[in-house]
Structure 1
Amino acid sequence: MNNKRTAKTAAGALAAALALSALLTACGGSKGTATGQGTGAEGTLDVSIMSILLSPTPPQDDNKIKQTIEKATNSKLKIQWVSGNNYDDKLNVTLASGDIPELTFIRDPFAPVFRNAVTQGAFWDITPFLKDYPNLTSKISKTAWDLTKMQDGKNYGVPRPRPSEADPFFILRKDWLDKVGLKVPTTTDELYTVMKAFADKNPGGNGAIPYTTYVNPSDMGSLGQIENSFTGVNGLWKLQDGKLVYTALLPEMRKSLEFEAKMYKEKLIPEDYASLKLSQSNDLFRGGKAGMIVDKAGTMSDYYDKLKAIDPNFKQTDFYPVTSINGYNPKGPGFNGLMAIPKSVPEAKMKRILKLIDTWMNDDVFAIQQYGIEGTDYTVKDGVKVINTEQLTKDNGPDFNQIVYVADPYASSTKVYFPKEVNDLFKKIQDERAKNSAADVSIGLYSPTAQKILPELNKKVQDAKTKIILGRDPITAWDDLVAKLKADQDVAKMSQEMTDAYQKRSAGK
């Protein structure tokens, strides 16, 4: 996050604001139920909201979808929409001022300014109250709740849910697999056998490469899924015997490097993979010049038309997601930011705001922004709602997803415009993946030492990996680096801090 003010300044301002708000609350007490401050269920809940705007024009106060949501939730929503281009700057200024809307979108729950705000007591710990709101606990995954806990193991906001399963993983050309007479791989050895067969038997008929891949400046890109399949973890940290271990130190990482170097030497990945961008890598697959890619199953529509034009026999079910490799596949964090309630809001009203979100997540209420207004944004044909997506977008329906959202657990895998057989296949594979998918357990964990050394350390590790994969350095160079890292006091301190943070968060203390 691009912080315009220092954490120290923000913390000081927030502490003052907290003290002031506590004083005002004590003096003024609760106002009537007409303003939503009372404990009764009657009366309209007036609530100020700040959230992100990703469309060109914000919904106006008389927006029909907004008014329909307000009627269904017995509320009056005073929404401040802030462009995504400068949301983080606006949020930082707002947090530092202490004048925080009663429901505020926090894009990065672990940015220093929000961490400081929580530490200063500026936001409600909603953990004890969640049991009273069934939609919050049933329609937001446990993964999302776990990974948005702060360092004290408590939740200071409602996660905006996203599907946690079916994160980007290996996608195979099933038609090529059938041509070489092999089954969908389940181990790294079988994965190599498939790639080698794609190279030797040329099922694409055009000398295509087996696996198109790329790297990012800050990580290993799609090659990271090869590494993760060896280490069995999603991310840079593995929980091992109760401790978090930096994955570069694992012996499995060495094995993955040998595997990747072999892939490069045998031309199973692009010769220029280290300089390829994501879009260029995807274009190789889209152009029928690769047999495997890393992506979500639901992106099939991005590739299908081009592949069908090249090969008329290509079927949608030939875009085939691999279930798992070595018992591993990645699980997403299950959230995209969170909605937080400042402590300046009295407890009674805080509970009503949680009730507002919970009610908003009811199927019939959430459907208002999903489909819009009947006769304007959708029509009903044979009992099915047919959406005019252009009109719904014009009427700002999707914008309200930035406040409250209900995630379809299969949204990443299935689409309404996919044929039934395709959706059935992707759904079946996603259900299988869910049995052993792994989330990044380090999300949200705070280590002062990691903040200081990790960016440069990751760069050093990535540079070493690239040189070994390209054959410029021998594998022994990796052994030398790992030995240095194991003897590095900062690395040891970082690992201990990450472990302490994980255990504290897990214990909820």
Structure 2
Amino acid sequence: MKTNMIKNKLGCKQALLLTLTCVILLSGCASNPQVKPEKADEIPKLTMMNMYYSAEPPKADNEVIRIIEDYTGSKLEMMWVPNSAYNDKVNATIAAGELPQIMMIGSNKSQGIINAVQSGMFWEVGPYLKDYPNLAKLNPMVMNNIAVDGKIYGIYRSRPVAREGIILRKDWLEAVGLPEPKTIDDVFNVIKAFGKKDPDQNGKEDTFGMYEGRGMNGFQTILGWYGGANLYAVENGRIIPDFMTKPYLEALKFYKRLYDEKLINQDFAVVPGTKRQEAVNQGKTGLIISTLDDVNAGFNDLAKANPKAVLDVVSRIQGPQGERLMLFNGGYFGAYMFPKTSVKTEQELKQILGVIDKLMDKKIQNLFEWGVEGKHYKIENGKPVRTDGKAYESDINAVNQIRLDDGGLADAGEDAPIVKKYKQMFKDNAAIAIANRAEPYQSATLAEKGSEITKIIQDARVKFIMGNIDENGWNQAVEQWRKSGGDQVIEEYSAQYNKQKK
């Protein structure tokens, strides 16, 4: 990656002199709280617990970790745990009291972690962030989402904040003579044409306008178009769930119309969400609502079966309240948190935060985005080009869970046009992302009864779409939710919201 990209081989002594930014912190250094260690034995050894998704844990001599260590001036002692067992391992580690200095907490809003935070187990880091160039720029909306009782106890792992939209067959659009949809009515018309106007031109009415799974992945996106809330809204000083608002019913009616006109698969309520991509690959549908970057993976079978097939993405749809998209998963996936039992002093905490801050520098973003020059990519026309995808998967993706950033500073490469398009959408759409207003708060009732009362709404939603209940039946289901604990959830959230407002 240009001359400033992280190189594959760094002479240890020279690299430390050139790239090592201070990691032993002085209490009086507010503008840059890091100082440079003068001796090799002063390099901090940091223990970190993190997850992995590969078949085997990353190797101890993983080259990416060595580069990170050289750049941040630290020595990382990694505790790798498989993703499938991660939350259980976190809970067991907390119970045992033998904690690493840096814990990646995937479910940082689980009741167990909230209890641990409130008991004083983790450092509050909010007051320190202003002293670090990258940490000081963290998204305030996302920071608010990870807060507990209005305070920040971790550094979130950033993800695109407005990530979802429409993936569709562009060649089908051309076949039915329609432009890219811009409004909700446009979307309906495209779906109808994909289902009724023989978009694959085989002379049969054998396609669905849109394909959906039992999780109803597209519902929240469509709800956003109608002006709905991201799970919870604020009305008259109270936090209420999205399904108690008018736009939710409008989104339900949209789905019901699709179902009644057989424009979506009639078995949507029972098929897994993964069937959506399969349906596109098999030519059964030309439109799904999903994360936009899914267009870059999972559709190889479509290209093999139909080399003339062309996929495209659409993100902004005009609705009654303008263009709106739901903030995706709160804008983050887990957070780094720092136990007081293993990070014993403020000086140690500042030292660790200095290392964490450098993990968000452009050089490290480029490392995760592209890998090592000469091994995973090369430079052509001044831009990085992937050369060995298999090695990249093995070396970089194996340790990708260390990554904090969303790649916003990484150098743009010679990406395919569709990749460039959705990456730009991620940046542009951050301005129209709608947050979950209850995200910063906790509900003991929801923690206890959440799966039970949520099922009431999920079942009623499907019944309404399929015509088994009408609007009165829907309202009865909402009342059942309220009487079964929902009103307590509203009161708990609302009390915290109003307390924080004061």
TM-score (norm: length of structure 1): 0.80
- Asked if 1:455 is matched to 2:451, the reply is yes
- Identity rate of aligned residues, in percent? 27
Residue 273 of structure 1 is matched in structure 2 by: 268
Q: How many angstroms does 1:129 deviate by?
A: 0.5
Q: How many angstroms does 1:349 deviate by?
A: 1.1
Bigger shift: residues 120-129 or 103-112? 103-112
Structure 1: distance between partners of 2:446 and 2:293: 35
* Amino acid corresponding to residue 316 of structure 2 in structure 1: T
CA contact (8 A) 1:38 1:348 kept: yes
* Amino acid corresponding to residue 493 of structure 1 in structure 2: Q
- Asked if 1:285 is matched to 2:280, the reply is yes
Structure 2 CA distance for partners of 1:131 and 1:286, relative to 1, 3 Å: same
Structure 2 CA distance for partners of 1:410 and 1:196, relative to 1, 3 Å: farther
Residue 74 of structure 1 is matched in structure 2 by: 73
Unaligned 5+ runs, structure 1: 1-33
1:409-458, Cα deviation, whole Å (9 max, x unpaired)? 499xx9957434x3454355445533322233333531112223332222
CA contact (8 A) 2:208 2:264 kept: yes
Structure 2 CA distance for partners of 1:354 and 1:476, relative to 1, 3 Å: same
CA contact (8 A) 1:52 1:83 kept: yes
Structure 2: distance between partners of 1:410 and 1:362: 8
- Give runs of aligned pairs for residues 236-247 of structure 1, distance below 5 A: 237-247=232-242
- Give runs of aligned pairs for residues 46-61 of structure 1, distance below 5 A: 46-61=45-60
- Asked if 1:166 is matched to 2:167, the reply is no
What is the DSSP-based 3-state SS (H/G/I as helix, E as strand, rest coil) of the residue aligned with 2:493? helix
Structure 2: distance between partners of 1:371 and 1:119: 40
Structure 2 CA distance for partners of 1:375 and 1:105, relative to 1, 3 Å: same
1:373-410, Cα deviation, whole Å (9 max, x unpaired)? 5555555566555553433454x433443234321249
What is the DSSP-based 3-state SS (H/G/I as helix, E as strand, rest coil) of the residue aligned with 1:435? helix
Q: 2:146 aligns with which of 145, 148, 158?
A: 148
Residue 13 of structure 1 is matched in structure 2 by: none
Structure 2: distance between partners of 1:255 and 1:229: 10
Residue 11 of structure 1 is matched in structure 2 by: none
* Amino acid corresponding to residue 141 of structure 1 in structure 2: N
Q: How many angstroms does 1:159 deviate by?
A: 0.8
Unaligned 5+ runs, structure 2: 1-21, 28-34
Residue 293 of structure 2 is matched in structure 1 by: 298
| Aligned Cα root-mean-square deviation (Å) | 3.2
Structure 2 CA distance for partners of 1:173 and 1:380, relative to 1, 3 Å: closer
Structure 2: distance between partners of 1:97 and 1:373: 39
Bigger shift: residues 274-283 or 189-198? 189-198
What is the DSSP-based 3-state SS (H/G/I as helix, E as strand, rest coil) of the residue aligned with 2:286? strand
- Give runs of aligned pairs for residues 159-308 of structure 1, distance below 5 A: 159-167=156-164, 169-205=165-201, 206-207=204-205, 208-216=207-215, 220-235=216-231, 237-302=232-297, 305-308=300-303
CA contact (8 A) 2:170 2:310 kept: no
What is the DSSP-based 3-state SS (H/G/I as helix, E as strand, rest coil) of the residue aligned with 1:89? helix
Residue 16 of structure 2 is matched in structure 1 by: none
Structure 2 CA distance for partners of 1:502 and 1:83, relative to 1, 3 Å: same
1:112-149, Cα deviation, whole Å (9 max, x unpaired)? 222121111111100000001111233x4334322111
1:218-276, Cα deviation, whole Å (9 max, x unpaired)? xx4334433443352223x1222332112222233333333322221111111222222
What is the DSSP-based 3-state SS (H/G/I as helix, E as strand, rest coil) of the residue aligned with 1:274? coil
Residue 7 of structure 2 is matched in structure 1 by: none
Structure 2 CA distance for partners of 1:358 and 1:484, relative to 1, 3 Å: closer
Residue 404 of structure 2 is matched in structure 1 by: 405
Residue 333 of structure 2 is matched in structure 1 by: 336
Structure 2: distance between partners of 1:69 and 1:418: 25
Residue-pair matches, total:
460
What is the DSSP-based 3-state SS (H/G/I as helix, E as strand, rest coil) of the residue aligned with 1:456? helix
- Asked if 1:436 is matched to 2:425, the reply is no
Q: How many angstroms does 1:355 deviate by?
A: 0.4
Structure 1: distance between partners of 2:198 and 2:61: 61
Structure 1: distance between partners of 2:324 and 2:451: 26
CA contact (8 A) 2:453 2:485 kept: no
